[in-house]
Amino acid sequence: MKPILAAAALLALCLGGCQHAGAPLAEIPDELLTCSGAPAWKRGGTQRDAAGYVVDLRAAHADCRGKLGEVRAMARPGS
């Protein structure tokens, strides 16, 4: 039983060295943690409907990509 306790104590000491002592990450605003959802697709629409869907889909992608870029800049300043 004693070897198990010694191994557990050694493991606890080793894992304590894995903690990151760097600066904490900046607080990320809630509005950057959600993206616009993909638009719903309606079957049987016209080509105009399909074009509108593509425009809406690209807008949702741009929203998410922009927010991810802001979060990345906060997490990795200077890169």
pLDDT in tens, 48-70: 999 999 999 999 999 999 999 99
Backbone angles phi, psi at 59, to 5 degrees: -65, -40
pTM of the model: 0.59
For residues 51 and 79, what is the distance between their CA atoms, to the nearest angstrom? Answer: 36
Closest CA to 73 of 14, 28, 10: 28
For residues 52 and 65, what is the distance between their CA atoms, to the nearest angstrom? Answer: 20
User: What residue type is assigned to position 15 of the chain?
Assistant: L
Q: How is the chain split into domains, by residue range?
A: 30-79
Separation of first and last alpha carbons in the chain: 51
pLDDT in tens, 14-51: 555 555 555 566 788 888 989 999 999 888 889 999 99
